[in-house]
Amino acid sequence: MGWFHGFQLHIVINDKGEIISFCIAHANVGDREPLRNQSFIKRIYGKLFAGKCYIGKELLQVLFVDEVHLITQIRNNMKNSLMSISDRIMLRKHFKIETVNDVLQNICQIAHSRDRSFCNFMANIICGSIGYGFLPKKPLIRYNTVQTNQLAIF
């Protein structure tokens, strides 16, 4: 029949919910593999917040060379690491990525099983991503810092 299936979409978003970069990979490729691709991470700098599945010493070193600081949660069997309070707050808000995935799948309709050819699949993904860019309200992360001269006493 020529059915086409077995791909996953990896996206990187900023705090305004805008898609910075995306990559399409086979379903049998691990989640960390696209981050090793230079064309996928060339527009990324600063801090990259990710889930527990992205933990890896080799990936951390590769991204650190490219001036990207990977911040992930720790697993149960790992040692605690010092993290700034702003990084901890931003790490708690990583559910916004799932919200963007939900908007892409349900509103922009990029996830369905009617694609029978690779060209139709790619056209559907790209058109859905472009349509997402034109949405007036995107899921954004509101994080404001207040500079005061008060001392915090705990």
> For residue range 63-118, what is the model confidence (pLDDT) as tens digits?
887 788 888 877 777 777 777 777 777 777 777 777 888 888 888 888 766 667 77
Q: Which pLDDT score, from 0 to 100, does residue 152 have?
A: 60
Rounded mean pLDDT, 59-63 = 79
Q: Is 33 helix (H, G, I), strand (E, B) or coil?
A: helix
Measured CA to CA, the distance from residue 88 to residue 92 in angstroms comes to 6
Structural tokens at position 11: 């996206």
pLDDT band at 153 (very low <50, low <70, confident <90, very high): low
Question: Which residue in this structure is represented by tokens 């859905």?
Answer: 128
Q: Which pLDDT score, from 0 to 100, does residue 52 have?
A: 75
Measured CA to CA, the distance from residue 77 to residue 58 in angstroms comes to 19
∠ CA 28-13-124, rounded to 5°: 60
Give the highest mean pLDDT range of 50-64, 80-94, 127-141: 127-141
pTM above 0.75, yes or no: no
